Amino acid sequence: MTSTETRHDLTGTVVGRLAALAADIRTTGLPAELRKDVARRVLDLLGSSLAAHDQPSARAVTEVARNWSGAAAANGIGTRERFPAATAALVNGTLAHSMDSDDTHLPSVLHPSASVIPAALAVGEAVGASGAAVLDAAGVGIEIVVRLGMGGYDEELGNSEFFERGQHATTICGAVGSAAAAAMLYGLETEGIADAMGIAASFGAGLLEANRTGGTVKRTHCGWAAHSGVTSAEFARAGLTGPPTVIEGRFGFLHAFCGDRADTAKVLDGLGEHWELPGIFFKPYPCNHFTHAGIDAARALVRDGLDRPTSWRSNSAYRSRYYARSPSPRHRRLLPNPVTTRPSRARSPSHGHCSVARDSVWDTPISPTLPRRIRAHSNSRGWSRVTATTAATRSTHISSRRSSGYVPGTVPGTKLASTTTEVVRRTRSPTTSSR
């Protein structure tokens, strides 16, 4: 601290309680199982980031970052290039979000790791923190992101108020969680961590219009959130302060972004006793989580030999009510937005059919000839049903299941390790390893 400014009283404030948790965990450490969970998320993020190097968003952000000045302090994932901590967080957060394969929390519909982990890795490397300290900071930051997102979730509406207003909650909340993680690693005390979050609340931003009409800017959102978080922590370390009622105040975070539908109590409910962290899903497919059950259903149809065009007479699908409320016309189809990854080569074409090529990681082939006329209907969250009537037998086949995304808290480390190893094998070469 270079400033002698008197601190605000944080007693009873939301940011004060979040900061107190962060300061306590920095001293005591996360419970072993939570720390192990965060380590799996780091591994998952590394695989997604390595696969994203050829994406236009990643190339553009990295090119700009090379021209920014500052002391080199942290690495870009999968490169030999070093950047200032905030810039490295920008590059790596963009990589983490570019493939749409980052983990997901429900029902807040957030991707918390893609901003917080890059911020924690960058600052951790810059200050020479231990691996355990980085995992602890990332775990707290992720928890804060999710809890802020839940503060904007409206149960009656069945959707996030952030999304209803066209705001990308992942990056808006991600900036605040990233700031907390960075501040922990910079060694700030409770007041300093609170200031970092209070500053980041003014920096978090992100619109979802690109989901409607196109543009690659959304893929940079988590990078910018990570950058904002690290920068906010650096500002706090230098003496800048944030408002004590930044979360719950009349002009604070939740009211400004979500209005009267915001629920501050959800942010603090069970804080320090119940952790949302283990319940965050890992993505088995590189596309929106609510399309996954439909992809699973299509795989089931293939296994039953119903993927041939001549076998289809009629079909329909059910999906999440979240997607039914999406602002995008494309999102009113079962499987929107073309997305391809190296490890799974999964595609979700905007015309509404699913094709997934044979995949050495999950090893399930799906024909590109699956039907294109799929009618989507609202149903309970996370479920999908595909019904097919064959022309030959007039029999009806129904597949209904929740997404095969890894069950919360039970992701086998060997599965993630093998997947990441496969990504490295496919993406690393003599020509790419030196980029």
CATH of the domain at 27: 1.10.4100.10
- Read off the DSSP letter of residue 214: -
Q: Calculate mean pLDDT across residues 305-327.
A: 48
Q: Are strands 314-320 and 376-379 parallel, antiparallel or unpaired?
A: parallel
Q: How far apart are CA 85 and CA 87, in angstroms?
A: 5
Most confident of 45-49, 105-109, 239-243, 317-321: 239-243
Is residue 304 located within the same domain as residue 205? no
Instruction: Confirm if 341 and 96 have CB atoms less than 8 A apart.
Output: no
Whether residue 387 is predicted with pLDDT greater than 70 in this model: the reply is no
Distance (Å, rounded) from C-alpha 203 to C-alpha 231? 10
Is the domain of 247 the same as that of 299?
A: no
Q: Is the pTM of this model over 0.85?
A: no
Cβ count within 10 A of residue 368: 12
Residues 322 and 235 in one domain: no
One-letter identity of residue 431: T
Give domain status of residue 184, yes or no.
Answer: yes
Residue type, 235: F
User: Residue 284 in 3-state DSSP?
Assistant: coil
One domain for residues 92 and 224? yes
124 shares a domain with 22: yes
Do 256 and 393 lie in one domain? The reply is no
CA-based nearest residue to 18, from 202, 253, 255, 282:
253
Please state, for a pLDDT cut of 90, what percent of the chain lies above it: 56
Q: Are residues 76 and 219 in the same domain?
A: yes
Specify if 80 maps to a domain.
yes
Taking only the tens place, the pLDDT of each residue in 321-361 is: 444 444 443 333 333 332 222 222 333 322 223 333 323 22
244 and 219 in a common domain = yes
Average pLDDT (397-410) is 49
Task: Give yes or no: residues 274 and 320 share one domain.
Answer: no
- pLDDT of residue 217 exceeding 60: yes
Nearest CA to 159 among 110, 201, 221?
110
Domain boundary residue, one of 279, 301, 323: 279
Residue 346: predicted pLDDT? 31
Pair 153, 221 in one domain: yes
Is residue 302 included in any domain, yes or no? yes
Q: Does any domain span residue 429?
A: no
Does the pLDDT of residue 392 top 80, yes or no?
A: no
Q: Is the backbone of residue 362 left (phi > 0), alpha (psi -120 to 50) or beta?
A: alpha
In the chain, the number of structural domains is 2
Contact residues for 11 (Cβ-Cβ < 8 A; gap 6+): none
What range does the domain containing 295 cover? 289-402
| Ramachandran quadrant class, 321 (left: phi over 0; alpha: psi -120 to 50; beta: rest) | alpha
User: Can the peptide bond before residue 412 be classed as cis, meaning omega within 30 degrees of 0?
Assistant: no
Residues 221, 152, single domain; the answer is yes
Q: Do 124 and 268 belong to one domain?
A: yes
| Predicted pLDDT at 284 | 79
Does the residue 253 lie in any domain?
A: yes
Give 162-165 contacts, CB < 8 A, sequence gap 24+: 162/257, 162/258, 163/109, 163/208, 163/325, 163/326, 163/327, 164/325, 165/257, 165/258
- Report pLDDT digits (tens) over 119-167: 999 999 999 999 999 999 999 999 999 999 999 999 888 889 999 999 9
Q: Is 274 exposed, middle or buried (0-12, 13-18, 19+ CB in 10 A)?
A: exposed
